[in-house]
Amino acid sequence: MKILLAAQDFRCAEIARKAVITQFKTDKTEVRLVHALEPFPVGLAEEMGGGDFPDFVAARERQRERLQNAFSEASDALRSAGFPVTSVVREGDARDVILDSAEEWGADLIGVCSDSQKGLTRFLLGSVAEAVARHAHCSVEIIRIPSGQ
């Protein structure tokens, strides 16, 4: 079984990897961790930042490094449990990155975290988990992030 885990941060990667370790057998499961970096508005940054534009670029690189470190820890834990695992950070809308990655890789299951956004935030941003569940060509498990974590 090929499981694609979509993680937006360290907390999600940690919860998702625990779910995989407790639910699946290592000899029949391959895992891919995927994170989508939202597109970086270079033109807007140049307009707003003026001479500070390099700070936007540096912040973006720090964000990418933090994600890779979080994925490295989750990947190491999955490998230690016996799972073959790869990780990918792709730029783009989270919904599209997750769905495209799952289809390209031939995932049998997508694990996506949900932090239960409510109200205006959910209306304006939508739920990535909901969009993935509606449009995926394979099964989707929504992994709930306990409140307060």
CATH number at residue 92: 3.40.50.620
CA-CA distance, 147 to 149, in Å (whole number)?
A: 6
Instruction: Give the tens place of pLDDT for each residue, 74-115.
Output: 889 899 999 999 988 888 888 999 999 999 999 999 998 876
Cα Rg of the chain (Å, integer): 16
- How confident is the model over 105-141, as pLDDT tens digits? 999 999 988 765 555 444 444 578 888 999 999 999 9
Q: Which residue has the higher pLDDT, 24 or 54?
A: 24
In a domain, 52, yes or no: yes
* Domain membership of residue 74 as a residue range: 2-144
Residue-level pLDDT at 121 = 47
Is 100 contained in some domain? yes
The reported pLDDT for the residue numbered 117 is: 56
Query: Is the residue at 69 inside a domain?
Result: yes
Buried b (16+ CB within 10 A) or exposed e, 44-71: ebeeeeeeeeeebeeeeeeeeeebeebb
Q: Which tops the pLDDT comparison, 54 or 21?
A: 21
Looking at the structure of the chain, the number of domains it has is 1
The answer as to whether 149 is a domain residue is: no
Average pLDDT over residues 139-149: 78
Residue 64 lies in a domain: yes
In a domain? residue 46:
yes
Q: How far apart are CA 138 and CA 105, in angstroms?
A: 12
Is residue 118 packed enough to be buried (19+ CB in 10 Å), middle (13-18) or exposed (0-12)? exposed
For residue 96, being part of any structural domain is answered with yes
Sheet containing strand 85-91, strands side by side: 85-91, 30-37, 2-6, 109-114, 139-144
- pLDDT category, 43, cuts 50, 70, 90? low
In sequence order, the β-bridge partners of residue 147 are: none
Q: What is the mean pLDDT of residues 54-82?
A: 81
**pLDDT (0 to 100) of residue 124:** 42
pTM (2 decimals)? 0.80
The pLDDT score that the predictor gives to residue 72 is 84
The pLDDT tens digits of the residues spanning 24-41 come to 888 889 999 998 887 766
